[in-house]
Amino acid sequence: MFPPIRSQSDLDQDEYSRDTGVDFDPSEDMARQEGAAESDINVLMERFGVQSFQRPVVFQDVDYDLDLMQVYQADREMRDAWERLPAELQGAYRGWPELFTAVEAGEVTFRPDDRSQPPDGVPAVPPAPASADPAGA
């Protein structure tokens, strides 16, 4: 015989469910755990020597003002600027963060170059003459 048709308004809903249902203890874990460490990504990364840079997860809207190509260009400019630094600085510091920390601590000081005068042997470039007619007519 089929069970009676049930609805959400049945008064004996819990009792009927207990009589006809399967009892399940949610405290029991039905998943087998003997292979948990072998499939954990953090364990695998550590096993193969990959450094994990875990940061706390931040949920927020972030508005990046650079697209991917602009980021690549900025990275290239940063690397080129690092290559233009004196070899002593490149050897003493591993990258820009360490150099910035040293500057803030006062270990390294920069003096602005006087770029108004060209170096010896380099002719000065005269400024372009200003034309009275911008359209050239």
Residue 109 confidence (pLDDT) above 70:
yes
Rounded to a whole number of angstroms, the distance between the first and last alpha carbons of the chain is 103
Per-residue pLDDT tens for 24-48? Answer: 677 777 777 888 888 888 888 888 8
Give the helix ranges, DSSP H, for the chain.
13-20, 36-39, 41-47, 68-84, 87-92, 96-105
CA 121 – CA 101 distance, rounded (Å)? 37
Residue 52 · residue 41 · CB < 8 Å: no
- Of 132, 116, 136, 134, the closest CA to residue 124 belongs to 116
Task: Quote the mean pLDDT of the chain.
Answer: 75
CA neighbor of 76 nearest in space, from 91, 88, 66: 66
Task: Give the pLDDT of residue 13.
Answer: 66
> Which pair of tokens denotes residue 45?
């990364």
**pLDDT, tens only, 68-101:** 899 899 999 999 999 998 888 888 898 899 998 9
What predicted TM-score, i.e. pTM, was given to this entire model? 0.37
Is the per-residue pLDDT at 11 higher than 70? no
Question: In the chain, what percentage of residues exceed pLDDT 90?
Answer: 12
